């Protein structure tokens, strides 16, 4: 992942909150939308660590019913090859941004439809009781629209996390949209 050296130096010095922007997507989305979001994530990564996530790898119908652990070695090789091919096909569709598999993220934010944009703040912020403060925007919107909606949500909340406001200010400064 590409990060600005100055941003990293400020973060390491404790002047910038540790934040992460995650965009949850699915293969059911339009290829053009996926490509646009991948490009936006790659650019936003210059301002804040950003990632694109999927719930899982698209595989053939019935694949999950094949018992990998109890299968003979040859069957395991076939299943592993199918899984690798499915992942390669999916990753090839998003060449500008890395994509990660994170089903726990989908569960944590109860994501059933995509895209969903989540900006998570530093988990050490006071008053968060072990949870990272987060701003979530759901719906088929552009990255720029999501950033503006996040900014509005933080502005409207009393006692909103000022570190997330700073992160959003940096994202708005990218002028991608």
The pair of three-digit structure tokens given for residue 60, joined into one six-digit string: 């053939």
Residue 4 pLDDT: 34
Q: What is the mean pLDDT of residues 27-50?
A: 87
Q: Which helix (H) or strand (E) holds 100?
A: strand 99-101
**Does 10 have pLDDT greater than 80?**
no
The predicted model scores a pTM of 0.74
How far apart (Å, rounded) are the C-alpha atoms in residues 111 and 107?
A: 6
Q: How many CA atoms lie within 13 A of 67 on its CB side?
A: 4
Among 63-67, 75-79, 107-111, whose mean pLDDT is lowest? Answer: 63-67
174 contacts 142 by C-beta, under 8 angstroms: no
How far apart (Å, rounded) are the C-alpha atoms in residues 92 and 104?
A: 23
Q: What is the mean pLDDT of residues 49-76?
A: 79
57 contacts 101 by C-beta, under 8 angstroms: yes
Inter-residue long-range contacts of 70-79, CB under 8 Å, 24+ positions, other chains counted: none
Q: What is the mean pLDDT of residues 94-104?
A: 77
How far apart (Å, rounded) are the C-alpha atoms in residues 136 and 116?
A: 7
Q: How far is CA 97 from the centre of its chain?
A: 10
């Amino acid at each position: 992942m590409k990060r600005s050296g100055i941003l990293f130096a400020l973060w390491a010095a404790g002047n910038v909150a540790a934040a992460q922007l995650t965009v949850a997507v699915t293969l059911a989305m339009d290829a053009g939308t996926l490509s646009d979001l991948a490009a936006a994530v790659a650019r936003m990564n210059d301002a804040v660590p950003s990632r694109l996530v999927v719930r899982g790898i698209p595989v053939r119908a019935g694949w999950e019913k094949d018992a990998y652990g109890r299968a003979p070695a040859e069957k395991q090789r076939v299943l592993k090859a199918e899984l690798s091919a499915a992942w390669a096909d999916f990753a090839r569709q998003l060449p500008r941004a890395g994509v990660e598999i994170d089903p726990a993220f989908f569960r944590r934010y109860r994501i059933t439809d995509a895209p969903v944009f989540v900006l998570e703040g530093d988990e050490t912020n006071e008053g968060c009781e072990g949870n990272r403060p987060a701003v979530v925007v759901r719906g088929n919107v552009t990255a720029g629209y999501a950033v503006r909606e996040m900014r509005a949500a933080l502005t409207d909340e009393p006692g909103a996390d000022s570190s997330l406001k700073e992160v959003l200010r940096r994202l708005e400064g990218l002028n991608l949209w």
